[in-house]
Amino acid sequence: MKRRQFIKVAGAGLAAGAVASPAIAQSSPEVKWRLTSSFPKSLDTIYGAAEVFSKLVSEATDGKFQIQVFAAGEIVPGLQAADAVQNGTVESCHTASYYYVGKDPTFAFGTAVPFGLNSRQENAWFYHGGGQDLLNEFYKKYNIYSLPGGNTGTQMGGWFRKEVKTVADLNGLKMRIGGLAGRVLQKLGSVPQQIAGGDIYPALEKGTIDAAEWVGPFDDEKLGFNKVAPFYYYPGWWEGGAALHFFINQAKWAELPKNYQAIVTAAAGYANVDMQAKYDARNPGALRRLAQGGAQLRPFPLEVMEACNKAANELYTEIAKDNADFKKILDAYMNFRGDQYLWWRVAEANFDNFMIRATSARG
Which residues are near Ca ion by CB under 5 A? 155, 213
Question: Closest CB to Ca ion among 155 and 340?
Answer: 155
Give the whole-angstrom CA distance, residue 87 versus residue 167.
44
The H or E element containing residue 69 is strand 65-70
Minimum CB separation from Ca ion for residue 156, in Å? 8
Alpha carbon separation from 85 to 12, 28, 33, 131, 246 (Å, rounded) = 46, 23, 11, 21, 10
Minimum CB separation from Ca ion for residue 142, in Å? 23
Question: Closest CB to Ca ion among 155 and 249?
Answer: 155
Question: Closest CB to Ca ion among 118 and 250?
Answer: 118
Reading phi first (left if > 0) and then psi (alpha if -120 to 50, else beta), residue 189 is in left
The 3-state DSSP class for residue 147 equals strand
Nearest to 113 by CA among 105, 104, 121: 105
Question: Closest CB to Ca ion among 169 and 213?
Answer: 213
Please answer whether residues 180 and 98 qualify as being in contact, where contact means their C-beta atoms are separated by less than 8 angstroms.
yes
Give the whole-angstrom CA distance, residue 317 versus residue 330.
10
Give the whole-angstrom CA distance, residue 155 versus residue 116.
12
The H or E element containing residue 31 is strand 31-37
Minimum CB separation from Ca ion for residue 214, in Å? 6
Question: Closest CB to Ca ion among 176 and 337?
Answer: 176
Minimum CB separation from Ca ion for residue 239, in Å? 5
Question: Closest CB to Ca ion among 91 and 213?
Answer: 213
Minimum CB separation from Ca ion for residue 242, in Å? 6
Give the whole-angstrom CA distance, residue 170 versus residue 189.
6
Question: Closest CB to Ca ion among 129 and 179?
Answer: 179
Minimum CB separation from Ca ion for residue 207, in Å? 21
Minimum CB separation from Ca ion for residue 224, in Å? 17
Q: Beta strands 211-212 and 158-160: pairing type?
A: antiparallel
